[in-house]
């Protein structure tokens, strides 16, 4: 198939990088896309063989399914093993809405529908019945919407589950849907299958069983879904999905509403399958439960694993290649073997049917790809140019910075703002009282009281295991508070979910660094802006001027934030966060937290693992943040850093607050010395 | 037969199926407890080993149900068949771990699980392509002996199934709780990293888990063949999913959980089939799977793991 060959030729332009400049790379990619499109458009004209065109149209259906599954598995990282269920739902939706299977009795209720041409009145010996004849073109979006509804319905119970459990639940739904189809013959004609599904018509032309029109509809469907996938991927929506894929807890702490975005991924992924189901059934003009069983879900999974999970071009190429393998190559190879068998007079060679071993090949593809090339044929992640020596050499800076980048132009209003604004001015910014957290028998925090006045730096110190990080986790909603209250700017936040707390202006870093390792530094920082941006799925798809402006401003803003750290992060903006040095990962995490435009910044051991010069540099920078109006709550083991930055120090030990006061006073406190340095030091 | 009698009979049948599911569920739980991996290959290790058992019995000259043995000959044939099946299944499980999963140790995310799906597919299709798509008549040397207790009939093969299941589960319990390797296994399940630092050969523990889990699947497979008198390339999928549901229901990672979950699923299958309809059995079982995962993800015996951050 020529278009697939074209895509393969495109490989180096999409994945290659290195010395090529960006501009020429983009131009070459654009040229490649143009060539592929031309080849795909001309294919039926050049080939002319109806069977080949028909297989190509089927291959498009599977490419469309692969694109949909790629949204769920590739972008959002939710392994769905029952994806064929949505394919089935879309297929039966059209199948029932345009066949003779369901024929309710005619009544006045149907008259407006008849006027809309969705049903017709059909005379039988036993009275008049309704004949559904909904147009294919109308059913494409309707089936997508129905499937999306079921995507949300099936997705909702799985939201709290870990990845592998989610796979099993989706597998369960994938089993249930075809069984229900088989067991409700009144609607689906059961195992016998729906028959006589109407073929699409366009301007009076009936598609019938002619392969060419289906080929073009399939091509258009794949092109549209690729466009949609790519647009979503390069937007706030795609970034939020990938953040969830990379690290759910960090995504939530950066303001991504996990529930909403997971459901959105399920819905959009299911919608792709729903529309594809309609296309597929219109083409086959029949639907049986066997068409939508587990092997189909696995086949689509094989396609995206083969092509490259998360890569839009990759999954399409993967789907097309495997379909070609199945419908042409193995057939041809079997024919050749039969001929060979006749030639050398070997009986079994004449009966080999390689096409029946396609699932065996799928199994080997899954295993071998996972073992040797997990990123697939066309990886989703581009390589980047190596840094110059200049860019690599860190310049140790002192003195922090003068000013922070201003806020984004017209950010959406902060949640909770206004309602509590009046009270916020008077009281402390953060006020924790009587906070108790238990993990089973362990009391991680016991009746902790603490208050952070606005625009101050407060440090929390204490031995390991004293509850410092738990305190941060509770304040940011990662761990639920057992008892007690947490007020931020006067508003109770202890029952809010992490992203809601972030929206109110609380951002954090993690002790054990939770960046999104397979996203670039720039993307990491832009995910921080998630709650301050507006673009929804429609905006991402249409890319209206407002969305364009917002995206450009966000990118610019992210670069400004990276620039705060001198030449440490900015030259590495397009590098994967996972490839950075330890200290740079810490800095990126702070940059990401700053991008959320916080009022209160919680830093969990920001200088851990840094040498003395780097520590001083970062301490200066933290001080500048404070001088620019940020309130900072800091966990830190290095007491000289604490003494330099903090106005107030709180000491935790075994979950209890044992001391509080200015750094010098706390340093002399006997209880603190005992907790920190041991009993003998206290009495020395 | 009264309704009550029918239900009681279905309880007996359910316990037999349940014993088989429990053995199969133990394999999921052993591997999950240590690797946190849902091993889809287990489905078809079960299926393939039912053929091991068939070939072992055929090797003894037993085909179909025509040749009935008794006394020491029967015991010998059964011990031989169970030994061959369980060792064959165990070796298959270890080979799968060694060849396809060990290279992926430490890789984040779902790569290992996707690999097990691939392995499962390979096993499935190897049997389909070599043995064929038909059902094989399973050799069965057991004499048909029935006892009547009121309205309930008890068969010799059911007693055999229960006996084998109880012996194997007690053996597993003893192994895990009383031996050095068993202790290493429990330690690894709690915290693999800490176990490694304490000098435990974690790879050996994993291999042991795969061997034991697969061997138990082998026993379950032979029981399947003797109970239903057939096997086919397709049996792994349904039985595997039900056994997996059993493991989840009991609390995946928990050994007593898998045993109890297996029995419950066996009972749900037979009683649900009786009270509702057999064609809805799978829907009932999968609905239970979904409901348990959503509302009690730790299952009946699972321990709650503290949130790590």
Could you report the per-residue pLDDT of A18-34, keeping only the tens digit for each? 444 556 777 888 888 89
Mean pLDDT, chain A, as a whole number? 86
Higher pLDDT, B239 or B276: B239
- For residue A599, give the nearest of A347, A385, A414 by alpha carbon: A414
- For residue B101, give the nearest of B118, B124, B79 by alpha carbon: B118
Which of A176-185, A490-499, A664-673, B219-228 shows the lowest per-residue confidence on average (mean pLDDT)? A664-673
- The CA distance from A407 to A589, in Å, is 19
* Interface mutation target, options A72, A252, A371, chain B, most CBs of B under 10 Å: A371
Q: Write out residues 190-219 of B within 8 Å (CB-CB) of A.
A: none
Yes or no: say if A573 and A559 are a contact pair by the CB < 8 Å rule: yes
Yes or no: say if B68 and B44 are a contact pair by the CB < 8 Å rule: no
- The CA distance from A280 to A215, in Å, is 11
For residue A22, the model assigns a pLDDT of: 57
C-alpha torsion sign, points A224, A228, A230, A231 = positive
What percentage of chain A exceeds 90 in pLDDT? 50
Domain identity same for A432 and A565: no
Q: How many residues would you count in chain A?
A: 684
Domain identity same for A30 and A93: no
- The CA distance from B78 to B85, in Å, is 10
Instruction: Report CA A332 to chain centroid distance, whole Å.
Output: 40
Structurally, chain A folds into a number of domains equal to: 5
DSSP symbols for A72-113: IIIIS----S-THHHHHHHHHHHHHHTSSS--PBP-GGGHHH
**Phi, psi at A439, each rounded to 5°:** -115, 100
Which of A498-507, A517-526, B277-286, B300-309 shows the lowest per-residue confidence on average (mean pLDDT)? B300-309
For residue A7, the model assigns a pLDDT of: 43
Could you report the per-residue pLDDT of B90-127, keeping only the tens digit for each? 999 999 999 999 999 888 778 898 999 999 999 999 99
Domain identity same for A116 and A161: no
CA distance A348 to chain B (A): 13
Cβ-Cβ contacts under 8 Å, A163 against chain B? 109-110
b/e A494-507 (16+ beta carbons within 10 angstroms → b): bebebbbbbbbbbb
- The CA distance from A1 to A63, in Å, is 14
Yes or no: say if A275 and A221 are a contact pair by the CB < 8 Å rule: yes
- Report the chain A residue with the minimal C-alpha distance to residue B127: A360
Mean pLDDT, chain B, as a whole number? 89
B132 and A CB contact within 8 Å: no
Which of A217-221, A288-292, A677-681, B36-40 shows the lowest per-residue confidence on average (mean pLDDT)? A677-681
State mean pLDDT over B159-187.
92
For residue A427, the model assigns a pLDDT of: 78
Domain identity same for A81 and A117: no
Give the confidence band of A426 by pLDDT, cuts at 50, 70, 90.
low
Yes or no: say if A461 and A660 are a contact pair by the CB < 8 Å rule: no
Is a pLDDT exceeding 90 seen at residue B88? yes
State mean pLDDT over A300-315.
92
Token pair 């003797």 is at which residue? B226
Domain identity same for A204 and A154: yes
Which of A118, A133, A148 lies at the terminal end of a domain, its last residue? Answer: A133
Domain identity same for A62 and A105: no
User: A521-528 and A545-563 are packed helices; what angle lies between their axes, rounded to 10 degrees?
Assistant: 110
State mean pLDDT over A389-403.
72
What is the pairing mode between strands B136-137 and B230-231?
antiparallel
Tally of CB atoms within 10 A around B146: 9
Q: Write out residues 126-165 of A within 8 Å (CB-CB) of B.
A: 157-158, 160-161, 163-165
Tally of CB atoms within 10 A around A319: 30
Residue A398 within a domain: no
The token pair at A64 is 């469309």
Is a pLDDT exceeding 50 seen at residue A344? yes
Residue A162 within a domain: yes
Residue A416 within a domain: no
List of residues 6+ apart from A32 with CB closer than 8 A? A6, A9, A10, A13, A14
Is a pLDDT exceeding 60 seen at residue A423? no
Which of A127-131, A259-263, A456-460, A548-552 shows the lowest per-residue confidence on average (mean pLDDT)? A127-131
State mean pLDDT over B27-38.
89
Domain identity same for A653 and A584: no
State mean pLDDT over A490-499.
92
- For residue B189, give the nearest of B53, B37, B21 by alpha carbon: B37
Q: Write out residues 288-307 of B within 8 Å (CB-CB) of A.
A: 289-290, 293-294, 297, 304, 306-307
What percentage of chain A exceeds 70 in pLDDT? 91
From the list B37, B111, B280, the residue facing A183 with the nearest CB is B280
User: B202-228 and B156-178 are packed helices; what angle lies between their axes, rounded to 10 degrees?
Assistant: 170
Which of A372, A406, A431 lies at the terminal end of a domain, its last residue? Answer: A372
- Report the chain B residue with the minimal C-alpha distance to residue A169: B290
CA distance B69 to chain A (A): 39
Q: Domain of A464?
A: 422-505+598-684
Structure letter (DSSP) for residue A531: G
CA separation (Å) from A96 to A103, A125, A195, B139?
A: 10, 22, 10, 47
For residue A399, the model assigns a pLDDT of: 67
Yes or no: say if B274 and B80 are a contact pair by the CB < 8 Å rule: no
Side-chain half-sphere of A338: how many Cα atoms within 13 Å? 10
Residue A492 within a domain: yes
Cβ-Cβ contacts under 8 Å, B37 against chain A? 164
- For residue B41, give the nearest of B136, B105, B138, B126 by alpha carbon: B126
Domain identity same for A608 and A499: yes
Pairs of CB atoms within 8 A across A/B: 126
From the list B114, B125, B297, the residue facing A305 with the nearest CB is B114
CA distance A273 to chain B (A): 21
Which of A591, A606, A626 lies at the terminal end of a domain, its last residue? Answer: A591
Give the confidence band of B264 by pLDDT, cuts at 50, 70, 90.
very high
What is the pairing mode between strands A491-492 and A483-488?
antiparallel
Token pair 């593809």 is at which residue? A365
For residue A418, the model assigns a pLDDT of: 43
Domain identity same for A645 and A551: no
Yes or no: say if A250 and A510 are a contact pair by the CB < 8 Å rule: yes
- For residue B101, give the nearest of B46, B50, B189, B42 by alpha carbon: B42
Domain identity same for A154 and A88: yes
Domain identity same for A218 and A356: yes
Highest mean pLDDT, choosing among A337-346, A503-512, B29-38: A503-512
DSSP symbols for chain B: --HHHHHHHHHHHHHHHHHHHHHHHHHHHHHHHHH----THHHHHHHHHHHHHHHHHHHTT--TTT----HHHHHHHHHHHHHHHHHHHHHHHHHHIIIIIGGGTT--TTHHHHHHHHHHHHHHHHHHHHT-SSPEEPP------EEEETTEEEEHHHHHHHHHHHHHHHHHHHHHHHSHHHHHHHHHHH-HHHHHHTT--HHHHHHHHHHHHHHHHHHHHHHHHHHHSEE-TTHHHHHHHHHHHHHHHH-TT-HHHHHHHHHHHHHHHHHHHHHT-GGGHHHHHHHHHHHHHHH-TTTTTPPPPPPP-
Residue A72 within a domain: yes
- The CA distance from B254 to B28, in Å, is 10
**Phi, psi at A454, each rounded to 5°:** -60, 145
Yes or no: say if A167 and A297 are a contact pair by the CB < 8 Å rule: no
For residue B89, the model assigns a pLDDT of: 97
Contact A169 B290 (CB under 8 A): yes
Domain identity same for A441 and A318: no
């Amino acid at each position: 198939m020529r278009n697939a060959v074209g895509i393969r030729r495109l490989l180096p332009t999409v994945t290659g990088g290195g010395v090529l400049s960006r501009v020429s790379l983009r131009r070459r990619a654009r040229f490649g896309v143009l060539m592929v499109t031309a080849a795909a458009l001309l294919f039926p004209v050049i080939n002319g063989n109806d069977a080949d065109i028909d297989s190509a149209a089927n291959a498009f259906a599977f490419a469309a399914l692969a694109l949909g599954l790629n949204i769920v598995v590739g972008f959002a990282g939710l392994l769905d093993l029952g994806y064929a269920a949505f394919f089935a739902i879309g297929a039966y939706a059209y199948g029932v809405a345009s066949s003779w299977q369901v024929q309710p009795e005619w009544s006045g209720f149907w008259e407006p529908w008849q006027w809309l041409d969705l049903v017709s009145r059909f005379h039988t010996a036993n009275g008049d019945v309704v004949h559904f004849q909904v147009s294919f073109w109308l059913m494409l979006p309707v089936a997508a919407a129905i499937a999306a509804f079921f995507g949300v319905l099936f997705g909702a119970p799985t939201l709290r589950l870990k990845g592998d459990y989610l796979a099993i639940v989706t597998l369960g739904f994938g089993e249930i849907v075809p069984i229900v189809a088989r067991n409700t013959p009144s609607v689906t004609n059961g195992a016998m299958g729906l028959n006589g599904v109407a073929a699409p018509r366009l301007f009076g032309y009936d598609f019938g069983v002619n392969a060419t029109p289906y080929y073009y509809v399939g091509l258009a469907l794949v092109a549209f879904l690729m466009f949609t996938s790519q647009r979503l991927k390069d937007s706030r929506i795609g970034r939020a999905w990938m953040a969830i894929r990379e690290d759910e807890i960090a995504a939530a702490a950066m303001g991504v509403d996990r529930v909403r975005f997971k459901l959105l991924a399920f819905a959009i992924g299911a919608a792709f399958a729903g529309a594809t189901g309609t296309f597929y059934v219109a083409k086959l003009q029949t639907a049986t439960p066997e068409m939508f069983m587990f092997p189909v879900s696995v086949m689509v999974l094989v396609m995206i694993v083969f092509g490259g999970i998360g890569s839009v071009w990759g999954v399409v190429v993967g789907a097309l290649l495997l379909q070609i393998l199945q419908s042409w190559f193995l057939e041809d190879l079997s024919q050749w073997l039969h001929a060979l068998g006749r030639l050398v007079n070997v009986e079994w060679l004449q009966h080999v049917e390689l096409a029946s071993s396609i699932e065996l090949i799928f199994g080997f593809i899954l295993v071998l790809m996972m073992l040797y090339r997990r990123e697939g044929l066309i990886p989703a992640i581009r390589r980047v140019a190596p840094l110059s020596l200049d860019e690599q050499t860190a310049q140790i800076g002192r003195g922090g910075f003068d000013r922070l980048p201003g806020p984004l132009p017209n950010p959406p209003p902060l949640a909770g703002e206004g309602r509590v604004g009046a009270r916020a001015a008077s009281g402390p910014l953060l006020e924790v009282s009587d906070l108790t957290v238990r993990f089973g028998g362990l009391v991680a925090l016991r009746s902790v009281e603490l208050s952070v006045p606005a625009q101050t730096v407060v440090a929390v110190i204490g031995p390991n295991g004293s509850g410092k990080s738990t305190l941060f986790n509770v304040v940011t909603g990662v761990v639920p508070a057992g008892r007690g209250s947490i007020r931020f700017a006067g508003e109770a936040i202890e029952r809010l979910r992490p992203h809601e707390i972030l929206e109110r202006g609380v951002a954090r870093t993690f002790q054990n660094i939770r960046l999104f390792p397979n996203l670039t530094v720039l993307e990491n920082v832009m995910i921080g802006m998630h709650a301050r941006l507006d673009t929804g799925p429609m905006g991402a798809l249409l890319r209206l001027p407002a969305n364009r402006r917002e995206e450009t401003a966000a990118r610019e803003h992210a670069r400004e934030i990276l620039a705060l750290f001198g030449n440490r992060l900015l030259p590495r903006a397009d590098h994967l966060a996972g490839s950075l040095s330890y200290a740079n990962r810490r800095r990126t995490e702070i940059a990401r937290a700053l991008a959320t435009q916080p009022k209160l910044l919680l830093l969990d051991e920001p200088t851990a693992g840094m040498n003395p010069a780097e520590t001083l540099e970062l301490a200066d920078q933290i001080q500048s943040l404070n001088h620019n109006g940020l309130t900072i709550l800091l966990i830190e083991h290095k007491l000289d850093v604490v003494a330099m930055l903090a106005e107030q120090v709180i000491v935790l030990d075994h979950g209890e607050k044992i001391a509080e006061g200015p750094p010098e006073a706390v340093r002399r406190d006997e209880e603190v010395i005992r907790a920190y340095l041991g009993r003998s030091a206290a009495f020395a | 037969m009264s309704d009550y009698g029918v239900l009681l009979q279905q309880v007996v049948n359910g316990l037999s199926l349940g014993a088989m599911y429990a053995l199969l569920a133990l394999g999921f739980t052993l591997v999950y407890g240590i690797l946190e991996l849902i091993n889809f290959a287990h489905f078809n290790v079960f299926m393939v080993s039912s053929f091991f058992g068939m070939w072992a019995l055929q090797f003894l000259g037993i085909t179909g149900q025509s040749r009935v043995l008794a006394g020491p000959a029967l015991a010998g044939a059964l011990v031989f068949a169970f030994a061959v099946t369980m060792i064959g299944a165990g070796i298959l499980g270890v080979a799968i771990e060694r060849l396809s999963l060990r290279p992926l140790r430490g890789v984040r995310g779902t790569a290992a699980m996707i690999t097990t799906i691939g392995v499962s597919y390979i096993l499935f299709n190897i049997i389909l392509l070599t043995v064929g798509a038909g059902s094989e008549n399973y050799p069965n040397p057991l004499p048909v002996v029935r006892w009547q207790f009121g309205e309930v009939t008890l068969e010799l093969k059911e007693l055999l199934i229960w006996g084998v299941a109880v012996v194997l589960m007690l053996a597993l319990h003893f192994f895990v709780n009383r031996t050095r390797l068993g202790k290493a296994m429990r330690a690894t399940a709690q915290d693999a990293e800490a176990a490694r630092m304490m000098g435990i050969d974690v790879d050996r523990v994993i291999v042991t888990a795969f061997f034991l889990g697969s061997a138990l699947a082998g026993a379950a497979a032979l029981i399947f063949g003797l109970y239903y008198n057939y096997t086919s390339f397709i049996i792994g999928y349904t039985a595997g999913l039900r056994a997996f549901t059993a493991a989840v229901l009991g609390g995946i990672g928990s050994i007593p959980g898998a045993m109890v979950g297996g029995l419950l699923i066996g009972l749900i299958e037979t009683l649900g089939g009786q009270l509702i309809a057999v064609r809805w059995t799978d829907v009932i079982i999968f609905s239970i799977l979904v409901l348990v995962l959503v509302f009690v993800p730790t299952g009946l015996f699972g321990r709650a793991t503290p949130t790590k951050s």
